[in-house]
Amino acid sequence: MAHLNKAAWQFLSDLAANNNREWFHENKKKFETIVKQPFEEIITEVIERISDQDPALATTAKEAIFRIYKDTRFSNDKRPYKEHVSAHLSSFGKQAPIIDGLYIHLSASEDCFVASGAYMPDKLQLLAIRDAIVAEPERVESILSNPELKKVYGDLKGEKNKILPQPYKDYAAQYPILWHKQYLLSHSTSKAEDLFLKEDIVDRLLYYYEVARPWSLFLRDALKA
């Protein structure tokens, strides 16, 4: 089974301290050997196992993994490389703001985390999610109050609106979840070894996916209705 080791985290730590084209060019082969290749193997195995039960998530590691290179054209931060590696498994596509599979974020300079849910839904997507909550409040309550989900992900995360339009405002007292404009489950840690520096990393990622899956499917139903 593919896994990452401490050398990968050391590389990401070194990259954070040397985020320039000269250093990366000199160390590109090391990146490809100790970070990129094992990460691709991990994501490939995760996709294969997830898509066995959910064909909508069938994709490839190449399609799911984000490039290490940053687009700095419209950013004040001109550092050319991301200081993390990440992948997004979603039936809506890698760039979509909906994660009905799993988002995986590995870093040595910030928290590592896995996430699932609606990160930045657009206006129509947000309306569809809120409509689904009003239509199926018992389903939502059953999913989000599940003890296993609460243990792994805690409460639903994400920004909230200060003002709600009608008719949602009328329902908000009964269903305060409607105030959310992001509907995200996220589990993070500052210790990479807690999540990713284990030989059973694929099993761990599958576990995080399974726990979040009922919420993912609710969002998928809401947005594809």
Tens digits of residue pLDDT in 20-38: 999 999 999 999 999 999 9
Q: Is-contact 115 194, C-beta < 8 A? A: no
Q: What is the pLDDT of residues 104-163, one digit of tens each?
A: 999 888 888 999 999 999 999 999 999 999 999 999 999 999 999 999 999 999 999 999
User: pTM for the complete prediction?
Assistant: 0.93
Residue 59: the pLDDT is: 95
Nearest to 92 by CA among 129, 59, 114: 59
2 band by pLDDT with thresholds 50, 70 and 90: low
Report strand pairing: 112-118 vs 84-89: unpaired
CATH 2.70.98 corresponds to the domain 6-223? no
Average pLDDT, the chain: 93
Residue 199: the pLDDT is: 82
| DSSP label at residue 174 | T
189 band by pLDDT with thresholds 50, 70 and 90: confident
Rounded to an integer, the average pLDDT of 171-192 is 92
Rounded to an integer, the average pLDDT of 7-15 is 93
Residue 74: the pLDDT is: 80
Q: Which residues of 182-198 are buried (b: 16+ CB within 10 A; e: fewer)?
A: bbbbbbeeeebeebbbe
Rounded to an integer, the average pLDDT of 93-110 is 91
Q: Where are the domains of the chain?
A: 6-223
Percent share of the chain, pLDDT over 70: 97
Q: What is the residue type of 207?
A: Y
Residue 196: the pLDDT is: 75
Residue 1: the pLDDT is: 58
Percent share of the chain, pLDDT over 90: 81
Long-range (24+ apart) CB contacts under 8 A made by 170-174 are 171/134, 174/137
The token duo for 35 is 């970070």
Residue 210: the pLDDT is: 97
Q: What is the pLDDT of residues 76-86, one digit of tens each?
A: 889 999 999 99
**3-class SS of residue 61:** helix
Asked if omega into 214 is within 30° of 0 (cis), the reply is no
Residue 152: the pLDDT is: 95
Is the per-residue pLDDT at 215 higher than 80?
yes
Residue 198: the pLDDT is: 78
